[in-house]
A = this chain, B = another copy of it.
Amino acid sequence: MLNLQVENEAPVVGRQVSPAAIFDTLQRYQQTMALKGAIDLELFTHIAKGVVTPGALALSCHASERGIRILCDFMTILGFLRKTDEGYRLTPESAVFLDKASPAYMGSITGFLSSERTLARFSDVAAIVRRGGPEVSSMQPESDWWVDFAEHMGPMVMMVAQMAANLLAQPGRRVRVLDIAAGHGLFGISVARQNRAAEITALDWKNVLGVAERNAARAGVQDRFRTIPGSVFEVDIESRYDLVVVANFLHCFDIPTNIGLLKKVWTAMKPGGLLATVELVPNEDRISPPIAASFSMNMLGATNGGDAYTFSEFDRMFRAAGFDGSRMQLLEPTPHALILTAR
């Protein structure tokens, strides 16, 4: 039986101490599942078309009015809808990112971020903490985990990739770009779109490169898009690159592994070349800002040595691999940062 303690006197509890946050947190999974459900039902897309009452939305979404009303209220509480006397309205965020007719629609990210198999990774966090990592790392060679990632996360990454390319593309200059662990390929592709003289080499496992090649063809840059299939830790890389992009990759490994990788990157670069690292970078306290700092939990659940590294940790890794100092630039309003390091 549980520690009900009904035999004792009432615990002395300060007026301001409430169990509300605990109660709330233990049910936050419903926030993930409900937003995913709303995207599945194309709720935001229907509201964008002017269908705004529970009754009308129930018809459009082929759903029950009770379910739609409760879901719309819940989305309002979470900040993804507004509730007015006339019906529900999109917020600026849901209009840009959750309406299928928007060019920045990113509903597909649920297929990776909160897919059944991603959620399954976190079904027993105590066991993960005991082990210090997942039962099976997501870093297995040729894992289709990363095909899933590349196929679903593109729209989320697009904004980050475009902002990074604004800073990296050097339009008109002939630059050879190596995109390491390219995934969807969007970092290299974004540079190629902004600089018609840029040549991109995307390195990733063969199964993942299929996604990148399709995206390059859609962007019309396929004639300047080469690939190197394989693991960056194993393949040979020529010393020919002006710009190396390592986006959302170093967080997958421990520091010694990263230093080894960065030494290889150093040799692949021409003198005067630039290394561009894109990451979620927490402050030195590792507990702020919330989204970047929380990312370490993701790495605990998915990798055996990865982490959300601070800027000073990155800087030490780059120096240990032979690079000079780095500087960091936030890619706001996204939660990502770009770290620029000279060879």
Contact = CB atoms under 8 A, between A and B. Distances in A.
A15 B330 CA distance: 13
A122 B76 CA distance: 19
Can you tell how many copies of this chain the complex includes? Answer: 2
Contact of A96 (B17, B78, B103, B113): B17
Given A29-B32, A70-B296, A7 B333 contact: no
B129 A71 contact: yes
A286 to B, nearest CB: 5
A152 B104 contact: no
Interface string A5-18: 11110110111111
B297 A74 contact: yes
Interface in A183-240: 184, 186, 189, 193, 214-215, 218-220
Main secondary structure of the interface of A (DSSP, over half): helix
Contacts of A173: none
Nearest to A98: B22
Given A100-B3, A155-B5, A73 B129 contact: no
Contact of A105 (B3, B152, B288): B3
A273 interface: no
B218 A6 contact: yes
A106 interface: yes
Contacts of A248: none
A320 interface: no
A132 B65 contact: yes
B113 A26 contact: yes
A136 to B, nearest CB: 16
B67 A132 contact: yes
Given A2-B152, A4-B215, A66-B133, A32 B36 contact: no
Interface in A3-59: 3-8, 10-11, 13-38, 40-41
